[in-house]
Structure 1
Amino acid sequence: MPDLQDNALIVKTGGKGNRFAESVATGDRAEDRTMDYSIGRMGRVVVARGFEAEDLYGEIESLAAKEDIRCAAVVVVGGLRRAKVVVGPKNPTGPIEPTYREFDDAREIAGVGTIFRDESGPKLHLHAGIGRGDEAIVGCPRGGASVFCVLEVVLFEILGVDAAREPDPELGLKLLTLRK
């Protein structure tokens, strides 16, 4: 029977831990692992505009902290002047080593992401299509991602979900963790 917590339905299905890290390391599918999930409800919708040279992550995370947003879905559209973009792992198995593509020439962006907190506050995880002319990059913009001209941001607050970004020591990443 699922647990009811703060008007949110939390269903824990399957497990993670070592099986997840093992499946990444070997490329094998963990047959006994299923998705963990939680059902919340829509809270506030925050619409924001970013300006030239603003720090993409810094501004969105600061806004989430100021408004005490703990969980949110994020949509961005507009321009990025520069970024270092994670475009996948160097190898499909073994330890995760990111592959990067960098640009510093002003590009268009359309992206979706999430905000969940870690021990220091709200953390944005964003994946986007980023392009200029005939060149396109799809990945996770990081490393000095700054706004070109204007960036429109919409945060959809999610209430009733107890979630955080917690370290996974085996993968060396902070991953979404649903708590009971």
Structure 2
Amino acid sequence: MNTTPVFRSLLAAAILALALASGCSSEPASSASATPDAQTQAAEAHWTDALSTLDTDQVRERIAAAKGRPVLVCLWSVNCPACVQELPVLEELADQYAPDDLEVLLLNLDGNRAVVRGFFKEYEPAATVLLVEPSVADAFQATYIPKLVLYDASGEKVFDDSGFYPKGMLEALIQRASGE
């Protein structure tokens, strides 16, 4: 088969897109993990409250409680390459904005506190990390992750999409959601 360079480029892009999409479904990660050592268990105690598993109603209550400031929500998994790429951007935003100006919620779909805590073993996240039940992914229509949803200060959804977004684009959306 004689193909043109443009066709080969499009085919390669399509194959890459399928590979990324299949690696980032909203299915929970495997809960199999090694037994944590004493240091990990001590650090785990610090995360106990933050990593309680929330259902859809509890997540919606958390978002509603933030009225008066934008809320950026990300549904993610430790096994999703695009999520791992997006998290540092979200961490920078959580660090950049005062808590009264923006709340960043990282809703983890893995369902395993030790897996999530192990992911953040090098640092304490600036954003709020919450474990959520699988039903939360359905409620947010998160077929693919990372799934980003931005609510403005009045609690209205102003952005809802899956995929990686660079910091500059998210900053522009947050500024608009803040009314700036």
What TM-score, normalized by structure 1, do the two folds share?
0.24
| The structure with more helix, counted as a fraction of residues | 2
What TM-score, normalized by structure 2, do the two folds share?
0.24
| The structure with more strand, counted as a fraction of residues | 1
